[in-house]
Structures are given as C-alpha cells and as structure tokens.
Structure 1
Amino acid sequence: MQTLSTGTVVRHPSATAERLAEHASRLARRTEALEDHAALLAHEVKSSLLSALHSDDVRRGVINAIELVDSILEAVQAEGDTGDSSALTVDCVRQAVADSKRRMEVITGPVEDLPIPSGVLRLVLRNLVANAAAAGARRIHIWSRTQSDRSILVVEDDGIGPISSSGYATGTRLGLTLCRRLVARFDGVIELEPRTVGGSRATVIIGRRG
C-alpha cells in the first residue's frame, strides 16, 4: 500500500486479492462448521428424544435434550471466540456422564484442563461415553495430561471394542465423525483403537496454540 502526497491511498491488487481470499476461506470454514453443528444437533437430539420415549421419565428426557441443545449452541459460540478458552475437564466429564444416563462405573484421574471450549469438550465426551456404553462397557476410565506442545485426553472402556479406527463395534459412528471434525478446528484429532486387554481406547489430542 502507498500513500500519495494528496492523502490518497493506493492499494496493491495483490494485497486486496489476498484479503479477499482469506475472507472467503474464513466464510467457507464457518459454513462447514455450521453444517457440522446442524448435523450434530439433529443426531444427538434425536438420540436423546428416542431414549426419552423408552424411559419412564419422559419429561426428564426432554429436559436433557434441551440441555444438549444449549451445549451445542455453546460450542457454536465458542468457535467464534478468538480469545483463550480452556475446558474444566472434571466438570465436562461429570456433565457428559449425567447426559448419558447409563449404568456404569466411571473413574476419573489424573485430569488436567484442556485448551478447548467447555461446550466442545462436553459434546466430545458425551459421544465417547455413549458409544462406550452402547458397546457394552461397564467401566470407563477417563484421564488427561499436558505435554509441552499438546494436551491429551484418554477415554478407556471394557466394552467389546472398535471394529476399526473409524467406529465402535456398536453405537454411533456419525457422532464420532462429527466430533472429529469439531476438534479438528481446534488443532485436534480423535484416535480410536482396541486395547490389548479388551475394550477400546479413544484419545483426544489437542495442539497447544501460541
């Protein structure tokens, strides 16, 4: 960019093109994020409502579905937040287990907070816990640690294990795929593998920004 003596600002075409390309890229990512959230909303709320229909307390199931909508909206808002955000892992685990409404033993610890919004982590944990429960897990162990360049969250269960790295032997695959796309926006990945002693291990790895 050059400024003439008259005060007129002259912009180089290349700089303008770069800004337009960057803006278009941001819009494309935002559109993709909204599509993923819409799919996740339909998938998770439908599952919650179907569960409520088979429950003795339908009202409680509907309330859970409404709370789930709130958590997804929180995750959507978090994606537009450019500030630092860190999830309280213990709180997210507690909420995810409460959302699942399954009878199982959940062991936590040691845990450290993750550099990812709480709404996002709660959705991811909810899906991982629900899939483990659907795969017949009676016990789930959740722990996390922080390394120099990344944070790691592990969810281990004693269910029948995954059929591949893309899905559990039973339970929902769509939710896992969407959660993978969700954490990818925070420089993260979700890995799924069988345990040598049986069951599955889901590992959420979040790159530390900065």
Structure 2
Amino acid sequence: MPWRTHVHELGFLAVVVALAGLLVGTSLSSYRGDRALTWALVAGEGERLFHRLRELPRPESAQAGPPRPEQLVAGQAALAAEGLLRVAVIGPGAEVLAESGPAGPEGDALVTGVARLERPLHPPRPQHPPRGDAPPPGDGVLPRLLLEYEPRLALDLQHRARRDLIASLAVAAALLIAGWVFYRLRRRAQLAEEGLAERRHLAALGELSAVLAHEIRNPLASLKGHAQLLEEQLADDPRRHAKAHRVVDEAVRLEHLTNSLLDFTRADRLATGVASPAEVARRAAELTDPARVVVDVAGAPERWSFDAMRIEQALVNLLRNALQASAPPAEVELKVVDDGDGLRFTVADRGPGVPSEMRPRLFEPFVTGRAEGTGLGLAVVRRVVELHGGKVTIERRHGGGSVFVLWLPPGPQEAK
C-alpha cells in the first residue's frame, strides 16, 4: 500500500478518535455538572417539604403556640403525595418523641431513593445576656424535626443525566467502531486492488514471457547446435576452442532462461489429482543432488490432492536455491508432514540467510540475490502454491540459514 494512502487513512482514524474523545469528555463534564445540580435539588426539595409541613392548617386552640409533634406527624399523610415518607420529632436527648412510621434505609439518597432533612421544630428564641444574679438560660437544645422524603426531581434529573451519558458513550463507541470498520474495509479494498493490479501485471508479464520464449527458443536451439559443432571442430586449437565453448555456455544459459520463462507462463495451469507427497519429495531430491538432500517423510500422509508435477517443480526450485546457498558438503533438509491443517513441505538450508531488505520482494519475478540467477524460480513457486490455495513463506533458521515453508490446504479428499 502506498505510504501516502496509509497516512491519509491513519489521519482519518485519528480524527475519528479525537471526535469520540471530545464527545466523551463533554459528556462526562456535563454529567458532573448534573450531579452537582442533583444534590442542590435534593436539599431544595427537603426545604420545600419542611415549609409546607409547617404551613399546614392547625386547630384554633393551637394557633398561639408551636405545633405539637402529633400534629406534625399527622401532616405527613397530607404531603405523602408530594414525596414525604416519614416525619419524626427528635427530643433534646435524641429520643424520638413522635414519628409517622419506621425509618428508611441509610446511605446515599440517590442510591436508596430516600433523603433526610433535619431542622429545628420552631425558630429558637433570642438569648439575652444574664443580669446580675439571674440564673443562666437553658442549654438552648430544642426539639428537631426529621423529614424522610423521596427526592423525585433529583432522581429524575439523575436518571436523565445517566441516560444522556450512556447515550453519548454509545455514540462515541459507535463512532470508533464505524471508523475502525471503515479503516479496515478501506485497507482491505486497497490490498485487494493492489492484488488485482499485481495479478494483471503478472498475467501481462506471463504473456510477454511466453511470446519471447517461443520466439527465442527456435533460433537459440539452432545457435546452440552450430556452436557445439564449431566447438568440436576447434578441438585442436585451444584458443578458438575456448571462445567456442564460451558461446555454447552462453547459449545454454539462455536456454535455461527460456525454460524458466516457459515454466513461469505455464504455472497457472493445474492438473489436480491424488498423489503421494513422499514420492513427490523423493523425486524432487533425485532431480537436484540426492547426495546432499536429506528427505524426511515420516510424518507425510499417504495420499493428497494436488498437482504432483507442479509441486515437484516448486520443490526442485526450492532445493536448487537451498543447495546453491549452502556450501558443499553442507546438506539441505526436505521434510514433509501433515500438520493437521494442511500439507507442509519445509526446505532448510545452511547458507548465510536472506537479507531482511529482500524478504518482502523475494517471491516477485526477476528478483534475485545471485548474479547468474533469473529471479523466476521463487516466482514460479509462489504462483503454483497460490493456485493450490496455499502459501509459501520464509523463516530464519536457528543456527544460521533459511527455511522455506510450502503449505497446501486439504483438498476434497482430505476434507472428508
């Protein structure tokens, strides 16, 4: 993916995260303000009920003095519809002089739904300083009125604030999810577009390679044959014989290149059948250097559905690369195993390893780390494996070297 496109997509995702964070921050700030207002409403509702209770009409005989506790307790029934739950008169010694019912639950009023307010039963009389030997006044402790009530407005405000906070958090979460989904879909679409462009490029490259290989093959065969005849005729002239031998060598190298081009163009045609992975691995070793290839087929299944000829060709390419990377007499290991999810071929060499900068492009056509390489061997391997629905990867080998892993998914026969 082009880095500019990736930066733009990350920038969009950052904007979405910033907007979601701003929404969450604003919602939390509003919720804290609503909480403060809620407690003010709790106190205000209590004061309103206290004054309403004091203003209730009393008998004519009780107009001159303060309201009696029994009268105030009886007033609770009149204000029950407004949220008053209990009235209690507390004496100077904290004893309950009268009450309208049992005490409610203790705790946070916004959690239990019961708030409390305690006020003097009537305003205290003004205290005057004693004169001369007059006795000091009383301790000034007056009966107190305790109200227990349901702060309905405060609870409603709290419910609305909590609902708005949850809604804001849900919107922020939905915004983040939508942004992430858009980012992933956009990235997937970009990768699919790049893959399609690469397949088109490979298809065009394959067609061009096929045309070049067929056009070059016939004159190259004629050139090679005449050069070999000339080499034989100049056997008595070492100087000219060496030049003719070089022409033959270059013709052979061009022949290998044309064969590689043809293999690359033919790799998109499969002839799938049931074959023995162990036999395919052994034939690939025989076609390279059997003396230096150690084949381990102890974990190989008896049969597998794949194009045996194409997989053999891919293994031969991997083994040749591994043998060229490993200095003689170092051995190369070829292992075949059914890992439970699919068929796995591993080719391990003892070479210097693949440079990290070459790994992303190692399986692309005409990419090679050798001066005499064509860069088509690993491209053929990847094309064959991907047509089987599998994948080929490279890993570092512990102790030095590289490990190529060729994995094939189970076919219809193995799926049963």
When the two structures are superposed, what TM-score results if normalisation uses the length of structure 2? 0.32
Structure having the larger proportion of residues in helix:
2
Percentage identity across aligned positions?
24
Letter in 2 for 1:125: L
Matches within 5 A, 1:67-106: 79=270, 81=271, 85-100=273-288, 102=289, 104-106=291-293
Aligned to 2:342: 150
Match of 1:136 among 295, 313, 326: 326
Aligned to 2:36: none
Supply the distance in 1 between the matched residues of 2:338 and 2:320 (Cα, whole angstroms).
25
Aligned partner of residue 274 in structure 2, secondary structure: coil
Letter in 1 for 2:394: L
Letter in 1 for 2:344: I
Note the C-alpha offset of 1:180. Answer: 0.1
Match of 2:386 among 176, 180, 184: 184
Letter in 2 for 1:135: A
Aligned to 1:9: none
Supply the distance in 2 between the matched residues of 1:33 and 1:192 (Cα, whole angstroms).
27
Deviation per CA, 1:29-59: give whole Å up to 9, x if none: 9x949938x66xx6xx99xx9xxx98xxx9x
Note the C-alpha offset of 1:169. Answer: 5.0
Q: Is the 8 A contact 2:268 2:387 kept in 1?
A: no
Structure 1 unaligned segments of length 5 or more: list them.
1-27
Structure having the larger proportion of residues in strand:
1
Note the C-alpha offset of 1:90. Answer: 2.9
Note the C-alpha offset of 1:103. Answer: 7.4
1:118 lines up with 2:289 in the alignment: no
Aligned partner of residue 196 in structure 1, secondary structure: coil
1:180–1:135: structure 2 CA closer, same or farther, 3 Å change rule? same
Note the C-alpha offset of 1:108. Answer: 1.2
1:140–1:130: structure 2 CA closer, same or farther, 3 Å change rule? same
1:204 lines up with 2:406 in the alignment: yes
Higher relative contact order structure (alpha carbons within 8 Å, sequence separation ≥ 6): 1
Aligned partner of residue 306 in structure 2, secondary structure: coil
Letter in 2 for 1:95: R
Deviation per CA, 1:157-190: give whole Å up to 9, x if none: 1122222434375455321022101210110111
Letter in 2 for 1:208: P
Aligned partner of residue 152 in structure 1, secondary structure: strand
Supply the distance in 2 between the matched residues of 1:139 and 1:119 (Cα, whole angstroms).
24
Match of 1:163 among 355, 364, 367: 355
Supply the distance in 1 between the matched residues of 2:390 and 2:291 (Cα, whole angstroms).
28
Note the C-alpha offset of 1:107. Answer: 1.2
Note the C-alpha offset of 1:123. Answer: 0.8
Q: Is the 8 A contact 2:342 2:408 kept in 1?
A: yes
Note the C-alpha offset of 1:156. Answer: 0.9
When the two structures are superposed, what TM-score results if normalisation uses the length of structure 1? 0.58
Aligned partner of residue 305 in structure 2, secondary structure: coil
Structure 2 unaligned segments of length 5 or more: list them.
1-198, 225-243, 363-367
1:142–1:114: structure 2 CA closer, same or farther, 3 Å change rule? farther
- Higher mean alpha-carbon deviation, 157-166 vs 179-188, is at 157-166
Aligned partner of residue 159 in structure 1, secondary structure: coil
Supply the distance in 2 between the matched residues of 1:77 and 1:169 (Cα, whole angstroms).
25
Supply the distance in 2 between the matched residues of 1:200 and 1:33 (Cα, whole angstroms).
31
Supply the distance in 2 between the matched residues of 1:91 and 1:103 (Cα, whole angstroms).
14
Note the C-alpha offset of 1:155. Answer: 0.8
Count of matched residue pairs? 162
Supply the distance in 2 between the matched residues of 1:173 and 1:181 (Cα, whole angstroms).
13
Whichever of the two has the greater Rg, that structure is 2
Note the C-alpha offset of 1:192. Answer: 1.2
Letter in 2 for 1:147: D
Note the C-alpha offset of 1:206. Answer: 0.8
Note the C-alpha offset of 1:99. Answer: 2.8
- Give the aligned CA root-mean-square deviation in angstroms: 4.3
